Amino acid sequence: MNQTAKRQHRLRVAAPTVPTTATTVVRSSTPAPHRQRARRLVRGFTLIELIIALSISALLAIFAQSELARQSENNLAMGSGTYIQQVTGASEQYVLQYFNNLSTGAPVAGVASEYAPTIAELKTAGFLYPGFPAGANALPTRQSIQINVNKLNCPGPACTFLATVCTTTPVTLGGTYTRFDLAQTIVDQQQGSGGQSLQTNPSVILGPVLNTPNPFGSVAGITCGSSNVSTALWQQFVRIGDTRDPNLQGNLTVAGNINFNTTPGASTTINGPTTVQNNLAVAGTSNLQGNVTAGSNLAVAGSAVVTGSVAAGGTVNGSQIQATGVFMPGTACVNSGAIGQSITGNGSLVLCAAGAWTPLSTIAAAGAACPVEGQGAVAANGSQLYCTNGTWTPLSDFLPVASNGAPCLNPGQVGYEGVPGLRTADLCRKNPADGVASWYRFQDITTNLVFVTSLDVYDGETVTKPVCDAGAGSAPIAIPQLFAMTESSRDAGFSRFVTDMGTSWQVHLLDGSGQPLTSANLFFGGTPPGSAVAVMHIYCYYP
């Protein structure tokens, strides 16, 4: 095989397949080496175009995906703006419905906080349809809202309300940073009534017609919707519960009943029968030719002068009932249960009971003379008085409140502890040691020493102190007393005493040289056998 044939054989084996068009172009009258270069040129040109086309397609796809994501976020923000706009409208209807309650601060039924209604409360009241989304993060941008109703110059003719519906947090879509672009989209959906807290001034909600403090403080990115309601709307017509005078200039024809909750201000002529279902107040003279029948109360603004008797089948209510008749206690009476004034004066009353006028109450003054020993009376301040030794004496003088250990004024006076369930008697006593008068419990001062027990003791024995019962302010002391029982001394010295160990005593029975005493009877003694034995009396001492 010659060199040319070998070269052509290598070309057929090594050369890759190229498109038909390129092959057609190469297959010309050009010699074999030139055809190979042509194939290479055509192949390189096609790969570059393909790379460029793929790059452009990738860029277009990335741009389209970014644009799609941006549009999706924008749609979420627009949805949140529409949500806030719907709640703002419901809040405006809420203010219109309960204008009087909100202007005066009266509660609104079904609303826990009348100036901060919730979505659930607006739905229950019918201002939002039942299926309206509610709860936390109900906005498409995964945010919650808060409704605030702010009033100005209320109540009064210049009363104005600003209802704001604000997001409780900035819009972030779960990211780290506040999306002010989406916040502006939410505001734009409010059609001029919305606003947001800007990064440069986060403490204020600003918008085309909105300039109000940020309800969440200095937090940027808070978006709000708003609604203004003032009394200008009410000036055009008379509404339910209106307190203004409509000042109608023509006739008023009413097909149904007219209910007067107050007195007509001018003369009124009634040609037909009139039924009064509620109170009838008459400020002037009422001349009646026949009987007066009232299905309910008959109210008289002035005095009602009745020269005869007033008979009532039910209860007679009045702020005061004044008896004008004066009667002598003990004299005969006819109308059982009647009440009159006592001839003794001082506003005392008598009651007709068992055919005689009986004192119902006696009004007296402490220190004044009294006629009947042992009689009771009431002072002007309501305290009880007792007639003793011809003088009205306050009952508190006989039963003063005492407290064990507290100072008292009159030695010898008896008082009572005021602790519920412990009505013990105390005596005001002056201590001879210091001359101070104090309250002492009777149970403590009937004797200073209260015997507790008696024991046989020996030298070195430990005896537990008793716990002496003590009231408030009292400090009793446990005291031992030793008496010889059987003992003997080597040097004619006898010493009996105890050492205070805090909660116990240690007994000492010693002779003159400090040695333990012995028993005179070797077969009768303490421990060890033959030791001395003494008798210990234990007392509680109440100083």
Domain ranges of the chain: 3-65, 81-233, 399-445, 449-541
Range 422-460 burial, b when 16+ CB lie within 10 A, else e: eeeebbbbeeeeeeebbbbbeebeeeeebebeeeebbbe
> What's the one-letter identity of residue 380?
A
| Residue 30 confidence (pLDDT) | 46
Q: Which two tokens stand for residue 3?
A: 């060199």
| Residue 525 confidence (pLDDT) | 47
| Residue 399 confidence (pLDDT) | 78
Scan for tokens 């005001």, then name that residue: 428
Helix (H, G, I), strand (E, B) or coil at 526: coil
pLDDT tens per residue across all 543 residues of the chain: 444 444 444 434 344 443 443 333 334 444 455 555 555 554 555 677 777 777 777 666 666 555 665 677 888 889 999 999 999 999 999 999 999 899 999 999 999 999 999 999 999 999 999 999 988 888 998 999 999 999 999 988 889 999 999 999 999 988 888 999 999 999 998 888 999 999 999 999 999 999 999 999 999 999 999 999 987 776 677 777 777 777 788 888 888 777 766 666 656 666 666 776 666 666 666 666 666 666 666 666 667 777 767 777 777 777 777 777 888 888 999 888 888 888 876 667 888 988 888 877 778 888 898 877 888 888 877 788 889 898 989 888 877 888 888 999 888 888 888 777 667 888 888 765 577 888 888 777 776 777 788 998 988 899 999 888 776 677 888 999 998 887 777 777 788 899 999 999 999 988 888 888 887 655 554 556 778 888 999 988 877
| Residue 162 confidence (pLDDT) | 94
> What sign results for the dihedral spanned by CA atoms 482, 483, 489, 494?
positive
How far is CA 319 from each of CA 275, 282, 349, rounded to the nearest angstrom? 28, 19, 18
Q: Which two tokens stand for residue 125?
A: 């009241």
| Residue 282 confidence (pLDDT) | 66
How many angstroms separate the CA atoms of 41 and 18, rounded? 11
Three-state secondary structure of 71-115 = HHHHHHHHHHHHHHHHHHHHHHHHHHHCHHHHHHCCCCCCCCCCC
Q: What is the DSSP string of 380-424?
A: TTS-EEEEETTEEEEHHHHS-EE-TTSB-SSTT-EEEE-STT---
Q: Under a CB-based contact definition with an 8 Å cutoff, are residues 383 and 396 in contact?
A: yes
| Residue 22 confidence (pLDDT) | 39
How many angstroms separate the CA atoms of 223 and 207, rounded? 10
| Residue 515 confidence (pLDDT) | 85
Q: What is the DSSP string of 139-190?
A: STTS--EEEEEEEES-SSTT-EEEEEEEESS---TTSSS--HHHHHHHHHTT
Chain-centroid distance, C-alpha 317: 37
**How many CA within 13 A on the CB side of residue 342?**
19
φ, ψ at 333 (rounded to 5°): -140, 165
How many angstroms separate the CA atoms of 456 and 363, rounded? 67
Q: Under a CB-based contact definition with an 8 Å cutoff, are residues 170 and 184 in contact?
A: no
Count of residues in the chain = 543
| Residue 5 confidence (pLDDT) | 44
How far is CA 208 from each of CA 52, 83, 109, 152, 194, rounded to the nearest angstrom? 49, 19, 34, 20, 7
Other Cβ atoms within 10 Å of 21 Cβ, number: 10
Q: Which two tokens stand for residue 279?
A: 């109170």
Q: Which two tokens stand for residue 226?
A: 């708003």
Q: Which two tokens stand for residue 469?
A: 């019962």
Q: Under a CB-based contact definition with an 8 Å cutoff, are residues 540 and 450 in contact?
A: yes
